[in-house]
C-alpha cells in the first residue's frame, strides 16, 4: 500500500512551458485535492475532486487544469508556467465522510 504518490519530486521549467504533475493513490479514496504551499502562506487549495469525472475549483485555480478519469489518478496541468507558480505542490486524498487527508510527498517546482 503506497498511499499517495507524486511525480516528479523536483522540476525546473522555463516561463511559458507546460507540464503535468502526477498524483496517484491506492487507497480507493473518493476525494482528491491539489494544494500549493508557499513560505508563510500555509496550504492553499487549487482544485479538488469528489469522485471520478467530478472536479471543482479551489482558492487559487488560475493557470491550472485538472481532470479525474479514474478514482486513482488526479493529474495537475500547468498550461503556461509563470514564475508565480514556483511552489511546492501537494496532492492529498481522503475517504468520503472521513475527511482525514493523506498527503503525498510533494513536488518542488521552480519556474525561471
Partner 1 sequence: GQQVMQIPQYQHVQEGEDFTTYCNSSTTLSNIQWYKQRPGGHPVFLIQLVKSGEVKKQKRLTFQFGEAKKNSSLHITATQTTDVGTYFCAGRGNSGYSTLTFGKGTMLLVSP
Interface residue list for partner 1 (CB under 8 A): 33, 35, 40-45, 48, 50, 58-59, 90, 92, 99-106
Using CA atoms, how far apart are residues 70 and 60, in angstroms rounded to an integer?
24
| 99 in Cβ contact with 92 (< 8 Å) | no
Closest to partner 1 by CB, 50 or 52? 50
- CB of 71 vs partner 1, minimal distance in Å: 17
- CB of 28 vs partner 1, minimal distance in Å: 18
- CB of 80 vs partner 1, minimal distance in Å: 26
- CB of 19 vs partner 1, minimal distance in Å: 20
Closest to partner 1 by CB, 26 or 59? 59
Kindly state the cell numbers that stand for 108: 518542488
Whats the size of the chain, residue-wise?
112
The span from the first CA to the last CA of the chain, in angstroms, equals 36
Kindly state the cell numbers that stand for 11: 522540476
Closest to partner 1 by CB, 19 or 50? 50
Nearest to 7 by CA among 73, 54, 60: 73
Closest to partner 1 by CB, 27 or 43? 43
Amino acid at each position: 500500500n503506497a498511499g499517495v504518490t507524486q511525480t516528479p519530486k523536483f522540476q525546473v521549467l522555463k516561463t511559458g512551458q507546460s507540464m503535468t504533475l502526477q498524483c496517484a493513490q491506492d487507497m480507493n479514496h473518493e476525494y482528491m485535492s491539489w494544494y500549493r504551499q508557499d513560505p508563510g502562506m500555509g496550504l492553499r487549495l487549487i482544485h479538488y475532486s469528489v469522485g471520478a469525472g467530478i472536479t471543482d475549483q479551489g482558492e487559487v485555480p488560475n493557470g491550472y487544469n485538472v481532470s479525474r478519469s479514474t478514482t486513482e489518478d488526479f493529474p495537475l496541468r500547468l498550461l503556461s508556467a509563470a514564475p508565480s507558480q514556483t511552489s511546492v505542490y501537494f496532492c492529498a486524498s481522503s475517504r468520503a465522510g472521513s475527511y482525514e487527508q493523506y498527503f503525498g510527498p510533494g513536488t518542488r517546482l521552480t519556474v525561471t
